[in-house]
Chain A
Amino acid sequence: AQSVSQHNHHVILSEAASLELGCNYSYGGTVNLFWYVQYPGQHLQLLLKYFSGDPLVKGIKGFEAEFIKSKFSFNLRKPSVQWSDTAEYFCAVMPSGTYKYIFGTGTRLKVLA
């Protein structure tokens, strides 16, 4: 069955630390990939997405993600986190030609000031 794994459920970092959140999926075909963020008390917002082309995708607020097809991974990175990045981050996969987003269980990031 198709699935998305986010291995880090809770991450605590100090401000200015570098961030990498893992995302692996199980699906053999072509996929579209997304990272969404949910700030406390707010709705999910799109951080970045990959459909095709350059596997290194840049999103909002200094985030980027790299699609490594051979590893079925789409890890999210940020060189220097801020307190305002405290949120829950969801990786999602949409097999091409479908409409179903398959979400990971989310990673709760807490950034200490």
Chain B
Amino acid sequence: NAGVMQNPRHLVRRRGQEARLRCSPMKGHSHVYWYRQLPEEGLKFMVYLQKENIIDESGMPKERFSAEFPKEGPSILRIQQVVRGDSAAYFCASSDRDPGSNTGELFFGEGSRLTVL
């Protein structure tokens, strides 16, 4: 059973370009989360999605960032017009159940490391 798959693992972009990060959740998981880890900081929640719905995007910067989880295909985190401060590791996690339940567990991907030159 494949785990959470993220690609690309490493992405280099110049300022002003677009970055697209993909996440395929574990089989059977319909809840996807994106976290960002800046150097020397912990993981920060960005967005929570279910199939075709954004449930909570309160952790996303208001501009340039967007996320989707279409009916078919992976979840995508899109960063437009990247700036140096966007350089970070972006982690995707998935779960198979209502996160309000007391048996929730997140399964993480290996992360995508974005470097903005």
Is A43 in contact with B108, judged by CB distance below 8 angstroms? yes
Rounded to whole angstroms, the CA-CA distance of A45 and B40 in the bound complex is: 19
- How many residues of chain B get a CB closer than 8 Å to chain A's CBs? 27
Whole-angstrom distance from the CB of A35 to the nearest CB of chain B? Answer: 12
Chain A residues positioned under 8 Å from B4 (CB to CB): 43
A44 at the interface (CB under 8 A from B): yes
Is A99 in contact with B100, judged by CB distance below 8 angstroms? yes
| Chain A interface mostly | loop
Is A42 in contact with B110, judged by CB distance below 8 angstroms? yes
Report the tally of A-B residue pairs with Cβ distances under 8 A: 58
Query: Which residues of chain A in 1-34 are interfacial with respect to chain B, using CB atoms and an 8 Å cutoff?
Result: 4, 6, 32
- Interface window among A55-63, A79-87, A90-98: A90-98
Chain B residues positioned under 8 Å from A36 (CB to CB): 108
Is B108 in contact with A32, judged by CB distance below 8 angstroms? no
Rounded to whole angstroms, the CA-CA distance of A42 and B48 in the bound complex is: 23
Chain A residues positioned under 8 Å from B91 (CB to CB): 43-44
Rounded to whole angstroms, the CA-CA distance of A94 and B48 in the bound complex is: 14
Rounded to whole angstroms, the CA-CA distance of A70 and B108 in the bound complex is: 31
Rounded to whole angstroms, the CA-CA distance of A96 and B98 in the bound complex is: 12
B3 at the interface (CB under 8 A from A): yes
Instruction: Offer 13 A-B interface pairs, CB within 8 angstroms, sorted by A.
Output: A4-B42, A43-B3, A43-B109, A43-B110, A45-B108, A46-B106, A99-B31, A99-B33, A99-B99, A101-B106, A103-B43, A103-B44, A106-B42
The 8 closest A-B pairs by CB, nearest first: A99-B99, A103-B42, A44-B108, A103-B43, A43-B110, A105-B42, A43-B108, A51-B102
Given contacts A4-B42, A44-B93, A46-B105, 5 further A-B contacts (CB under 8 A): A90-B43, A99-B55, A99-B56, A100-B56, A105-B41
